[in-house]
Structure 1
Amino acid sequence: MPIGVVLRKAPGVTRWAQWCWRAVAVLPGAGPADWRELRREGDTVEFHAATVTLELHGADTEAYLHGLMAQVPSIYVVLRDSGEPGDCPLEVTLVTASPYEAQDYTDSGEEIVEKVAMPPGLMAWVQDFVNEFHVEEEFVKRKRDKKRIDLVEDGIGDARIAQVADVYRSPRSKRGRLQ
């Protein structure tokens, strides 16, 4: 599904950050856009920054279900610094409904991950996908076997040495040289 991403540019609150950029909304089914201005109030501007495709995968239904059961079901927008100064310093990399995938993008510190409330229509679409493809997997606790593996010391020392005092020493010939 194509998802439009709305970014808000507001004046920064410190002298070190001139502008504060935030993802504030998503537009399900949006057409293509390239930093189209939607609204302006003083210095605050909202842009339809980009339209990217939201893909759902059958293997990730547990993550989607987890996200839908949150107090505020959300869509996650992954942003990256575009390296271009000016009015469009961020590049929309990805939108995902999986909180697990969003968390993976926070690990590197290279991307900015914004959490945006999911609109009701998009929530219904994701829920329908989960209802159709989710298979509940029963948790199976691993059981330990009763075999004792600490009784035999395999691979320690050289088997040609009959003495147990120093199992790590090298074998010597009768004349005191290595074989």
Structure 2
Amino acid sequence: MGVVYPESQSARLGVVMRQSPGVTPWAKWVWRATAVLPGAADASWKLLRESDGVSEFHASTHNLELFVSDAEAYAHELQATTPSVYVILREVEGARTDKKPIHVLKVTVSPYEAQDYCDSGEEIVERVPMPASVLHWVTAFVDRHYENEPFVKRRRNELRTDRTQAGIGDARIAQLSDVYRAPTPIQSEEVE
């Protein structure tokens, strides 16, 4: 079990990875995260089912941690058409394609954290539909810890800055007109 922080909760989620045949000669297999298993026990690439060259594995189990400081991100995810769990993956360097070339780093329900992993370019981020039990748990956490702050438009102070002119152009340049004037055309000498 991971480190327990104050004002946080965690639950175990197993990650299901699907291995299917590739469609090009350069990729023998395609690996995708397809589901998460709430309350799963520890596993290491346990075969769940196999059919027509497609295999599904319980790749690993991770703690899904919710923090009060990230409640706004969770609330944002709950507003999505299909709330999701983000599975963060990393390719294993030097692994043969028929072996397990993917390492599951973590799972999160924060779209902001998932975006940070996308921005790094080193990880693969895949969305998996959030199971109903996880959805209820995250919703209860957000309801308990998140309070939407209403937008307050900033009001200007009473100072009127439009009544006085600060000066013409740059004060360091002595001239009668604005220093940001349009250039005048140069008279060219006609050659006959």
Gaps of 5+ in 2: 1-10, 176-192
> Which of 85, 93, 101 is the matching residue for 2:113?
101
Question: What is the CA deviation profile of residues 121-179 of structure 1, one whole-angstrom value per residue up to 9, with x for unaligned ones?
Answer: 1100101101111111122333455476x949xxx98xxxxx969xxxxxxxxxxxxxx
- Look up the SS of the partner of 2:133 in the other structure: helix
Aligned to 2:73: 63
Aligned to 1:44: 54
Residue 76 of structure 1 pairs with residue 65 of structure 2 = no
Partner of 2:125 in structure 1? 113
Q: Distance in 2 between matches of 1:42 and 1:84?
A: 27
Matched residue SS, 1:141: coil
- Quote how far apart the aligned CAs of 1:81 are: 1.2
Bigger mean CA offset, 138-147 vs 13-22:
138-147
Q: What amino acid sits opposite 1:102 in the alignment?
A: A
RMSD (Å) for aligned C-alpha atoms: 2.3
Q: What's the CA shift string for 1:22-58, capped at 9, x where partnerless?
A: 0000001111111111111132111111101100011
Aligned residue number for residue 146 of structure 2: 134
Offset at residue 112 of structure 1 (A): 0.4
Residue type of the alignment partner of 2:113: E
- Residue identity over aligned pairs, in percent, reads 50
Query: 1:176 maps to which residue?
Result: none
Q: 1:140 to 1:19 in 2, by over 3 A?
A: same
Unaligned ranges ≥5, structure 1: 158-162, 166-179
**CA shift for structure 1 position 84:** 4.6
Alignment of 1:35 onto 2:45: yes
Cα distance, 1:92 vs structure 2: 0.7
Greater mean deviation of Cα atoms: 121-130 or 56-65: 56-65
Q: TM-score, normalised by structure 1?
A: 0.79
Q: Distance in 1 between the 2:51 and 2:166 partners? A: 76
Secondary structure at 1:85 match in 2: coil
* Letter aligned with residue 45 of structure 1: S
Aligned to 1:23: 33
Which of 79, 83, 103 lines up with 1:91 in the alignment? 103
Consecutive aligned runs of 4 or more in structure 1 exceeding 2 Å deviation:
140-148
Bigger share in strand: 2
- Give the structure-2-normalised TM-score: 0.74
Rounded Cα–Cα distance in structure 2 between residues aligned with 1:52 and 1:121? 16
